[in-house]
Structure 1
Amino acid sequence: MNRFIRKIPLSFGQLLSTLFLSLIALMALFPSVLVGPMDTIVTATGYPLAPPSTEHWFGTDEVGRDVWNLIVHSARITMLVGLLASLLSTVLGTTVGVISGYARGSVDNLLMRTADFFLVMPAFILAMVLAPMAIDFGGSKGAILGIRPTLLVTIVVIGITSWAGTARIVRSQTLSLRSRPFVDRARVIGASHTRIVLRHILPNLVSLIVANTILTIVAAIWIETALSFIGLGDPFQPSWGTMLFSAQQAGAAGAGAWWYVVTPGLAIVFVIVSLYSLSHSVTDLFGSRRKRVG
């Protein structure tokens, strides 16, 4: 195990990215432990749009709440949306891609024409159109596993509008694997289609699926941020995108309160860059393992 860990190809930048994402994970899991309860209008202790100081390292927002406190608590929603939406997108895309690539023929044509529609229509445009209708339909009362309906429908909308790219990639690799000798041997000895897919094709798609899932998280975070920035986020479960929306509404940029805009913006950028780096690490890791096996 130690020999395997030492051989994992991590550059200095990728190591920093992994450490940063670990910090974000801690922020998302234990925000109250790190910075206490989330600041509200009632509990705010600073002056409105106060610059960074020893008391408030990243300044305050328009009602005097500590920006760092909001950043830490908002990390949970941003990452939760990214993870759940990408999971839904990956499951849909992988399922469609494997079925399409393995079945071929009319099934392949039908599924790929459907995927083409979602590829031609940008995911954000579809999400922007569907999100208001879905939010109105879902309502805003109650919660499912701690997730309010308005946030849940945002996750679903992002997931069902961003699976097509995954489906295309998985289909292409499935077509290649389908013609490999080990699949032909399994077919000759009487293995069922389900067994061939689950035991011989999917295991060889793991590295591709994992790396693509990380990139899908990136896309989901972008879409969630954009939807929140135009006012389609849930103000009762704030994310970094809703922080940018609030900063815009408060006129922070015009008032010179750069910290209110830059802090959530940099948090998003650093997470995106770190996820891209992690995706390359996963690709390098599985690639090196295949070479050693070969």
Structure 2
Amino acid sequence: MTYTNYGPSRTREFKVFLGRLLERRGAWFGLAALAFFLLLAAAPDLIVGPLETAVTADGDFLAPPDRHHIFGTDEIGRDVLNLVVHGSRISLTIALVATIISLLVGTAVGISAGYYGGRIETWLMRMTDFFFIVPPFVLALVIAPVFVEVLGRGRDILGFRSSLFVTVLVIGLTSWSFVARIIRSQTLSLKERTFIDRARVVGSGDSNIMIRHLLPNLVPQIAANGALVVANAIYIETSLSFLGLGDPLQPSWGTLLSLGQRAGAASAGAWWYLGAPGACVLVVSLGFVLLGNALDDTFNPRRRVIP
């Protein structure tokens, strides 16, 4: 039996929550950006056709935007719009899967540390402090090449090429620390509530209490911080790909920026080559940040009065 109070009607609570969320302009921008880029990522072939290669390219060298190539072409004549739309699938897939890993690890560490306390909490939080102090990008930059060599290049792992799988794994395993700290602080408060005492009285075990009683009450914090983790994951993925750790056969936005830099797009005045993927990274990251802030405002009773 769960003593968590969800109110008289979950449907009504959801409508109230959605209404409060949509009162914030940041939520509108974040949801619109998310919906737009998810559409691009879901059906790039329907929007711009198959991914162009050196064989299928029909443009000139770094040709500026025109009616045939809205975002211009790259150094081998490929349509930049085609590359950017296909890159959205890679970038968003990596960011979303890495975020899921980060939330799972951070939630597990935070709820365990907050619930058990004592030596378990001390050990888990010292480990969290290490990942919190060391910048995730620096840590990812150090361990990513090691993982690539261990797993091998060009292999398929769980549907990802090995280089992309390593990027997902590295981002997920280096970006969970602040989630763990937030979940721990919330768990420390929740475990003193009456419904947790009642659960103990009726004989619920520790795992049952954490999963069925504490975890549902932590969902708002997980959701709000999840949007911020996605933005951070996009930044790290873009940085790693820009430094050459991406897969040129499956170009993400960061890979396109790297290819543009190597082709001398900046010195050649080909602003469209760097501007298009750069703008996508900026808009998506900003959208997720604004959505995360809006979710935090909505879930936080002290901030609900702020429109």
TM-score when scaled to structure 2? 0.90
- Select 2:67's aligned residue among 38, 51, 54: 54
- Select 1:234's aligned residue among 247, 272, 296: 247
- Select 1:81's aligned residue among 87, 90, 94: 94
Measured after TM superposition, the shift of residue 232 of structure 1 is 1.1
Measured after TM superposition, the shift of residue 13 of structure 1 is 4.2
Q: CA RMSD for the aligned pairs? A: 1.8
The one-letter code of the counterpart of 1:7 is G
Is the aligned partner of 1:23 residue 2:36? yes
- Select 2:124's aligned residue among 111, 114, 122: 111
Alignment match, 1:14:
27
Structure 1 runs, 4 residues or longer, greater than 3 Å off: 284-288
The one-letter code of the counterpart of 1:19 is A
Pick which of 3-12 and 121-130 moved more.
Answer: 3-12
Change (3 A) 1:210 1:42: same
Measured after TM superposition, the shift of residue 19 of structure 1 is 1.9
**Secondary structure in 2 matching 1:231:** helix
The one-letter code of the counterpart of 2:32 is L
Is the aligned partner of 1:244 residue 2:257? yes
The one-letter code of the counterpart of 2:19 is K
Measured after TM superposition, the shift of residue 16 of structure 1 is 3.2
Map Cα deviations across residues 112-145 of structure 1 (whole Å, 9 max, x no partner): 1111111111111110010111111111233234
Separation in structure 1 between the aligned mates of residue 199 and residue 25 of structure 2, nearest angstrom: 43
Please list, as runs of the form range in 1=range in 2, the aligned pairs for 1:175-194 lying within 5 A after superposition.
175-194=188-207
- Select 1:4's aligned residue among 4, 8, 15: 15
Is the aligned partner of 1:129 residue 2:142? yes
TM-score when scaled to structure 1? 0.94
How much identity, in percent, do the aligned residues show?
48
8 Å contact from structure 2 (residues 114, 185) kept in 1:
yes
Alignment match, 2:208:
195
- Select 1:158's aligned residue among 136, 159, 171: 171
**Secondary structure in 1 matching 2:156:** coil
- Select 1:205's aligned residue among 212, 218, 223: 218
Is the aligned partner of 1:264 residue 2:277? yes
Measured after TM superposition, the shift of residue 221 of structure 1 is 0.8
Map Cα deviations across residues 183-222 of structure 1 (whole Å, 9 max, x no partner): 1222223222122111221111001001111111111111
Please list, as runs of the form range in 1=range in 2, the aligned pairs for 1:29-68 lying within 5 A after superposition.
29-68=42-81
Measured after TM superposition, the shift of residue 21 of structure 1 is 1.2
Measured after TM superposition, the shift of residue 233 of structure 1 is 1.0
Map Cα deviations across residues 52-86 of structure 1 (whole Å, 9 max, x no partner): 11111111111111110000000011001101111
**Secondary structure in 1 matching 2:183:** helix
Separation in structure 2 between the aligned mates of residue 237 and residue 217 of structure 1, nearest angstrom: 20
Alignment match, 2:152:
139
